[in-house]
Structure 1
Amino acid sequence: MDPLEGETSSASIEYEPVSVKDVLVEMKDTAELLIDLSYSAVLHRSEELATEVLRLEERMDVLEMRARMSLLMAARKPADAEQLAPVLGIVGAADEISDAAGDIAKIVLEDMGLPEAMRAALPDAAEALLRGVVAADSPYAGRTLQEIDLESETGVRAIALRRGNEWLLNPGPTTRIEADDVAFLRGPESAIGDVCETLTGEVYEAPTVESPDIDDLERAVDTIIHMKDFSELAVDLAYSSVLFDSEELAEEVRNLEVEVDAMQSRFEAWTLRAAADATDPVVLRGLIQLGSSTERISDTAIEISEGVLRDIDVHPVVQLAVQESDEIIARIPVERDSDLDGTAVTEGVPDADSTMSVIAIRRPDEGWLLVADADAELRGGDVLIAKGTRTAAAAFRDLASA
């Protein structure tokens, strides 16, 4: 049965005066959540998470149509059309990410099959993600996130809530959790179980994994994990290139896209070799679709940054949309002899008085280093790509300055 049977997927959409900025913010946040949920659905073999991806995909279709209507209304002269054309590219890119995430979810829903090696690799690539329905007698029900103080107490954070058909993305301190809400929480595996039981009254079952026994399959899985990380980084950098109107960042997006293309070629070769030794090659079908969808996500980053690459002035509505997103990506050069020069970074967390997470480091002599792949020590001359709140980013810049 269709997991969304009974829900309207083709309801008519009429123009209504809405802020393009607000729609773009919601599209960006929705796209990021879609990527997160789709890969977690694969990890946990979770039809519930996969179904939530399809719900969000339908929501993205509505947002895309509303954004296009509003942009058409905003173009009144040739100069407007020139500045708004790249915005249409950003709108289309977010929808393309949504479609790719939907295809990843269908790997689970259509039972295409994935090797157990995939489950063994993904826990190293992401924290645990929990989808749970808030029980009526949960201690969290009827309280705000600030009152619960969940992240400080457990390290687990709420990344979204669904209340019926309404989505609450990036919930803040004043957001109240209600009984029957569908909550999406992310955090360390060691803490997520207790939070799950408190939230839902049910025991959390961690996924079991097996080590791969085919070398080429292990290489293929390692490659797809790198493709995922590079694709997500490319999308983040693309939005940052728009925010800073940075041609340098936009060029790095292009370089990352070329790297992901090369990875996909190697991934396909290793997957085909693994098929010759696999007991049941059909289980690799889902892995192939995962590779194709991941590469599509990296392609969308070029569409987001295309206006910057073509030296078209960034339309103010785009800058406002990126700037007002709850979590930002910051590009921060580390000056020599600054407080960050020589600072250790472990699993993305710098040994400094900061809540920023370091995603990647660009070194003049080494290129890009994904911090998730290895611990590192910051050096003067490094350019950091870091994620966090706007306030935290400002303080982190001060630490990076001599």
Structure 2
Amino acid sequence: MGPFRGGRSSATVEYEPVSVKDLLVEMKDTSELLIDLSYSAVLLNSESIAEEVLRLEERMDVLQLRARMSLLMAARNPSDAEALAPVLGIVSGAEKISDATGDIAKVVLEEVGLPGAMRTALPEAVETLVRASAIEGSEYTGRTLGDINLESETGVRVIAIRRGEDWIVNPGPGTAIEAGDVALLRGPDHGIGEVYETLSGEAYTPTEVEDSKIEDLDRAVDSIVLMKNLSELAVDLAYGSILFDNVELAEEVHNLEVEVDALRSRFEAWTLRAAADAPDPVALRGLLHLGFSTEEISDAALEITEGVLREIDVHPVVELAVQESDEIIARVALDSGSPLEGTSLVGGVPESDVSMNVLAVRRPEEGWMLVPDADTELEAGDVLIAKGTRTSGEAFRDLATA
């Protein structure tokens, strides 16, 4: 059997009485996983991961159809239609994200052309990610992730499992690994090799990193990595704005989309200038594809927020999805005189028991700084984007206020 190249499945999808709430949560998790996998496939030059992107894209197609069917069944009057319109925005945005990540994967599978300098961005852009098939007889097979305790022992996380045509996204401690499972592993090189070999029974070969001697190309690659990170954040905030009916988060998605647009303009200029010095300019085509697809992802994130920005009341089905989750995304502006002013975010929220993970900082005069890479002191006026529990979210907001 030849390598998987994906494509739209022609399998029939029939209406099933499934929970729209569960579909929305799965679509959110699948969107985030698709973005992660697609860029990892490019940065690692991994056909095997790119193939998993196309398989997961087919799964997303099914989720979208079922969500649309369920929403059509739920709309009984104009009031229902108005309240469900933002939910349809989620579905449409997820479809665009899925298509864009599929296009990114095809840059690898169809050998569109990528410069070796993409590998130089690897250490800063993404931890190593590999696909490993669990064999019968592995010491991991038949055990739960909680029992194996991989992350504590090796630093490696199982971010998803494909079991035949079914996916387990965000597997938890109670998830067991079965023989034949395809596990997607993320972590440091020294741990990945050990876990890969134990799970699959095969030797692990790390990715080789290649240096670039073209300055403009290095700038273009750095830009695409930053665009990737900002687009990922935009998607996270977009879903958060819908799930928590939060206009402030939706407005930050708009700010991120504007930043990505500006970055793409500079990225294209650097790529075209680099073509003059590149030994094979055709090899830069893949970079241009990445720039277009990355902008598509940030545009899709903005589309997801449209209902919130237009202040359409959230539908009860979305409220149900929120009620089952204790995790929230918070946006706070740092007041002058706050205990956080003048402190550094490296290592978490300083001098506090608040268990919030700060994702990014937007400084009005300087733009976005992604954390924890931003080794900088906080200033009054900084806008902090953080994720954590509801209780910690309130405490974090109080901490940022003078």
For 1:364 and 1:5, the matched residues in 2 are separated by 44
Q: Secondary structure at the match of 1:160?
A: strand
In the other structure, the counterpart of 1:55 is 55
For 1:58 and 1:9, the matched residues in 2 are separated by 7
For 2:339 and 2:22, the matched residues in 1 are separated by 37
Task: Please tell me whether the aligned partners of residues 234 and 257 of structure 2 are also in contact (alpha carbons under 8 angstroms).
Answer: yes
CA RMSD of aligned residues (A): 2.6
- After the TM superposition, which of the residue ranges 184-193 and 115-124 deviates more from structure 2? 184-193
Q: Do structure 1's residue 241 and structure 2's residue 241 form an aligned pair?
A: yes
For 1:338 and 1:6, the matched residues in 2 are separated by 52
In the other structure, the counterpart of 1:94 is 94
Q: Secondary structure at the match of 1:176?
A: coil
In the other structure, the counterpart of 1:278 is 278
For 2:337 and 2:170, the matched residues in 1 are separated by 36
In the other structure, the counterpart of 1:174 is 174
Taking the TM superposition and a 5 Å limit, the aligned residue runs for 1:208-357 are 208-321=208-321, 324=324, 329-331=329-331, 344-346=344-346, 349-350=348-349, 356-357=356-357
Displacement after TM superposition at 1:156 (Å): 1.6
In the other structure, the counterpart of 2:154 is 154
In the other structure, the counterpart of 2:27 is 27
Displacement after TM superposition at 1:372 (Å): 4.7
For 1:12 and 1:124, the matched residues in 2 are separated by 42
Displacement after TM superposition at 1:110 (Å): 0.3
Compared CA separation, residues 203 and 251, structure 1 to 2 (3 A):
same
For 2:87 and 2:50, the matched residues in 1 are separated by 29
- After the TM superposition, which of the residue ranges 167-176 and 203-212 deviates more from structure 2? 203-212
Taking the TM superposition and a 5 Å limit, the aligned residue runs for 1:100-111 are 100-111=100-111
For 1:215 and 1:153, the matched residues in 2 are separated by 40
Task: Please tell me whether the aligned partners of residues 116 and 212 of structure 2 are also in contact (alpha carbons under 8 angstroms).
Answer: yes
- After the TM superposition, which of the residue ranges 118-127 and 295-304 deviates more from structure 2? 118-127
Q: Secondary structure at the match of 2:12?
A: coil
For 1:276 and 1:364, the matched residues in 2 are separated by 36
Q: Which amino acid aligns with 2:391?
A: A
Displacement after TM superposition at 1:300 (Å): 0.5
- After the TM superposition, which of the residue ranges 87-96 and 235-244 deviates more from structure 2? 235-244
For 1:272 and 1:8, the matched residues in 2 are separated by 33
Compared CA separation, residues 396 and 139, structure 1 to 2 (3 A):
farther
For 1:92 and 1:48, the matched residues in 2 are separated by 28
For 1:60 and 1:22, the matched residues in 2 are separated by 13
Q: Secondary structure at the match of 2:305?
A: helix
For 2:326 and 2:185, the matched residues in 1 are separated by 16
Task: Please tell me whether the aligned partners of residues 235 and 301 of structure 1 are also in contact (alpha carbons under 8 angstroms).
Answer: yes
Q: Which amino acid aligns with 1:57?
A: E
Displacement after TM superposition at 1:246 (Å): 2.2
Q: Deviations over 1:81-100 (max 9, x none)?
A: 01111111110101110100
Q: What TM-score results when the alignment is normalised by the length of structure 2?
A: 0.91
Compared CA separation, residues 172 and 338, structure 1 to 2 (3 A):
farther
- After the TM superposition, which of the residue ranges 263-272 and 349-358 deviates more from structure 2? 349-358
Q: Secondary structure at the match of 1:376?
A: coil
- After the TM superposition, which of the residue ranges 331-340 and 33-42 deviates more from structure 2? 331-340
Task: Please tell me whether the aligned partners of residues 146 and 174 of structure 1 are also in contact (alpha carbons under 8 angstroms).
Answer: yes
Structure 1: give runs of 5+ residues left out of the alignment: none
Q: Do structure 1's residue 394 and structure 2's residue 391 form an aligned pair?
A: yes
In the other structure, the counterpart of 1:189 is 189
- After the TM superposition, which of the residue ranges 193-202 and 16-25 deviates more from structure 2? 193-202
Structure 2: give runs of 5+ residues left out of the alignment: none
Displacement after TM superposition at 1:138 (Å): 1.6
For 1:325 and 1:223, the matched residues in 2 are separated by 34
Q: Deviations over 1:321-367 (max 9, x none)?
A: 35656975444566778776665333x74566566532102346654
Task: Please tell me whether the aligned partners of residues 25 and 322 of structure 1 are also in contact (alpha carbons under 8 angstroms).
Answer: no
How many residue pairs end up in the alignment? 398
Q: Deviations over 1:85-131 (max 9, x none)?
A: 11111101011101000000001110111101111113311111121
Identity of aligned pairs, percent?
67
For 1:167 and 1:279, the matched residues in 2 are separated by 42
In the other structure, the counterpart of 1:359 is 359
